[in-house]
Amino acid sequence: MNDCEYIGECDMDLVRAKVLVKVKYHRITEIELLEHDHGRGENAEVIPEKVVEVQSLKVDTITGATCSSKIILEAIEGALKKGMN
């Protein structure tokens, strides 16, 4: 993965997220949650921190915010896929 900043988005109508993923030396250094609409559910805004900490998308979802957690993870995955091209 190239050093750069990548934007990823996921929109499932009531729940949506847009993230900015920063990569340096082939590691995720920061994930900024640019937009997050979690509808009636709880927010899952700690997900980006967890991904940076473990350097993986395989993190536990937040109880009460499973859908929101998955949307954020999909947005991050979309950004990272851009870095693979």
Region 6-35 average pLDDT: 94
Condensed to tens digits (0 to 9), the pLDDT of residues 38-63 reads 877 667 899 999 999 999 999 999 88
pLDDT for position 74? 97
Whole-number average pLDDT of the chain: 91
pLDDT band at 36 (very low <50, low <70, confident <90, very high): very high
Q: Does domain 4-84 have CATH number 3.90.1010.20?
A: yes
The pTM of this model reads 0.92
Strand 4-12: give its sheet, edge to edge.
Answer: 4-12, 15-24, 27-37
Region 8-14 average pLDDT: 92
Rounded Cα distance, 44 and 2, in Å = 27
